[in-house]
Structure 1
Amino acid sequence: MTETKDLAQAVAMLQARLPEIKKTQTADVKTDKARYSYTYADLAQITRELMPILGELGLSFLAKPTMIEGRFVLAYKLLHVSGESEDGEYPLPTSGSPQTVGSAITYARRYCLCAVTGVAPEDDDDAAQAEAERNSQRSAWRAPAANQAPEATSDREATKPQLQKLHALFSQAEWTDKADRLRAASVIVGRDLTSATEMTRKEASTVIDTLQQITADPDPAIRLSELVSNGGQP
């Protein structure tokens, strides 16, 4: 093991010798309007290439799902043999099947490990394609401005078919908890809701459009969780 006196020195040495991590996994996404794919490096690959270097420099990475102040999060920590550490939290979904929650935890572990160490898997053409896809969908993802007045024809309450559609889309995204659904809808429309029936027809339509895009993703529960965590931004 290479002797390092503290966390800062160990991280500096780590970042001077970060491995080149190839994106070897491919995900295909199909929507009503388009079909695209993107590549990524999975957790097993990143761990296999990075962990030996961490250990050699007296570093270790820990992550565990836990409840903190009523929030379900992945608590992670980068530790040094000196006792110093850098830690943080990543939000996790509170509903969904065990497989969906497990996928969210795996994604969070990969994301946090890369973020806290400075690892950046190689870039490639799919990054531009993904950015183009996000830009084309930005209007549906962005929450309305707080001072934006609803159109006169949209002041009426959401219709029963709209509410049924919302229920079906949330179920498809494996978000079954009522409070979580209201929180997601509130973020998307840009105001606090205590009931789905408070939405106008225009607001309900906005939430439906957003959920339809989310449910086209391979991991809709994760994508919806990220949208809520980011305050409505993609």
Structure 2
Amino acid sequence: MQRSSETIGQIAGALAKAQAELVNPEKLLTATVISPFPREESRTFRYASLASGLDIVRKCLTRYEIATVQATAIDAGTGLIRLTTTLLHSSGEWIASDWPVCSVTNTAAPHRMGAALTYARRYALFTLVGIAGEDDLDAPDLTAGPSLTSQTAPVAKAKPAKGVVNQPLLRDAQASAELRDRLLGELGSLLSGDELLNWAKTSLPLKNTLLERDARAIEAVYQTRLEATVPCEISIAPHQLAVATPVPAGRLVQDGAKRAGATEDQSAAEPNIGLAFPKEASRKRSKTHLAFVRSQPCLVCKQTPCDPHHLKFAQPRALGRKVSDEFTVPLCRTHHQQLHRHGDERAWWSDVQISPLLVASELWAASPIHERAAASAISTCARPGP
């Protein structure tokens, strides 16, 4: 906020003459604005120090009998420390402006408060006399980001060797044998599957500190105990025991194509009927199908080239695994990045009015992997027997 004396005629004339001679200070310092967002790059700009600006302002203003005064005060109403910059003329006229520095609570951190005060003094003085002290960029946040001074380049950390990250220290031979015997004794007293599971949760870190031969012994005994406590009950229906009947040639070719397709794409097997613990269907993987999807135009803008995007909501989430490749649609790089930035994938597809699951199903049905699988099955069936 700007304030002044009742009359400013003489100080205005003197300030106008001084501004005709004022020059911008040389920008010798460099600062970097560190972005809090990983997708945005840091910005670097140049600025002039407060000392260089004061040197220019004092030499020019004093020739026209203008003095500069900067003082601080605490605003009890807002709890802020305010800086008042005043230009005083020999005639008694004056012009002043107020600038908020920081909260009163920052007095507990003198270094941070001092940096904020220097920042405010430079901005207030340069603004009041009409000079530019830095590039046309926003300065970094002094209360959250790093200080403007002493910006050093980050030192690259050495990457640890493969397979040694968080690897526990192994015991010596005697200590490993003693721990192995103790764990084997604990395993022998466990009777139910729940007890085995609880034991594995608590003893797995200890097992990882054993030597390899001792750890394998623990794993073998645990597997034997687990199989003994969890029997696999498989019920066989009476119709499944019927005598095999001849299979038509067309059916044989179709079954061969299914087997070849499963080998190519790791396709899901039939549900494990009757198993005590049915397994989750495996997720299909096919580089051929991904290349086919990549060759299609973008669903939104019809441009190429495209990236194969996996529809995350098509299958339940699994740790470290994408959804099956059959739930893949083509998107150009722009819309692919826009989708990932949006966050809510279902809402994004609803906004563009596209049903991605239907498109993914059509692409999977038209994929060339089925033609290769069928050709492989036909060649296998046509091969004469021994």
TM-score, with normalisation over the residues of structure 2? 0.31
Deviation at 1:76? 1.6
Deviation at 1:12? 0.7
**Alignment match of 2:81 (pick from 72, 75, 81):** 72
Deviation at 1:100? 0.8
Are the aligned partners of 2:22 and 2:56 in contact in 1 as well (CA < 8 Å)? no
Structure 2 Cα separation of the partners of residues 86 and 122 of structure 1: 24
2:111 aligns with 99
2:375 aligns with none
2:60 aligns with 53
Deviation at 1:115? 1.1
Mark the structure with the bigger radius of gyration: 2
Q: Does 1:21 align with 2:25?
A: yes
Are the aligned partners of 1:21 and 1:41 in contact in 2 as well (CA < 8 Å)? yes
What are the equivalent positions in structure 2 for 1:1-234 lying under 5 Å apart? 6-31=10-35, 32-33=38-39, 34-70=41-77, 71-94=80-103, 95-96=105-106, 97-121=109-133, 123=135, 127=136, 130=137, 215-218=144-147
Deviation at 1:217? 4.9
Deviation at 1:74? 0.5
SS at match of 1:92: strand
1:125-160: per-residue Cα shift (whole Å, max 9, x none)? xx3xx47x99xxxxxxxxxxxxxxxxxxxxxxxxxx
Higher relative contact order (CA 8 A, sep 6+): 1
SS at match of 1:16: helix
After TM superposition, the structure 1 stretch with the greater mean CA deviation from structure 2, 52-61 or 92-101, is 92-101
1:158-192: per-residue Cα shift (whole Å, max 9, x none)? xxxxxxxxxxxxxxx76xxxxxxxxxxxxxxxxxx
Structure 1 Cα separation of the partners of residues 134 and 146 of structure 2: 22
Are the aligned partners of 1:28 and 1:38 in contact in 2 as well (CA < 8 Å)? yes
Letter of the structure 1 residue corresponding to residue 18 of structure 2: L
Letter of the structure 2 residue corresponding to residue 18 of structure 1: L
Deviation at 1:66? 0.9
Identity of aligned residues (%): 29
Q: How many residues align?
A: 131
Q: 1:22 to 1:81 in 2, by over 3 A?
A: same
Are the aligned partners of 1:20 and 1:122 in contact in 2 as well (CA < 8 Å)? no
Deviation at 1:93? 1.0
Deviation at 1:69? 4.5
SS at match of 1:21: coil
Deviation at 1:88? 1.9
2:228 aligns with none
SS at match of 1:6: helix
| Aligned residues: CA RMSD | 2.6
The runs of 5 or more residues in structure 2 that have no matched partner are 1-8, 149-386
Structure 2 Cα separation of the partners of residues 20 and 72 of structure 1: 28
Q: 1:28 to 1:15 in 2, by over 3 A?
A: same
TM-score, with normalisation over the residues of structure 1? 0.50
Letter of the structure 2 residue corresponding to residue 85 of structure 1: W
Letter of the structure 1 residue corresponding to residue 83 of structure 2: L
Letter of the structure 2 residue corresponding to residue 116 of structure 1: L
Deviation at 1:29? 3.0
Are the aligned partners of 2:48 and 2:133 in contact in 1 as well (CA < 8 Å)? yes
SS at match of 2:21: coil
Letter of the structure 2 residue corresponding to residue 218 of structure 1: S
Structure 2 Cα separation of the partners of residues 72 and 122 of structure 1: 24
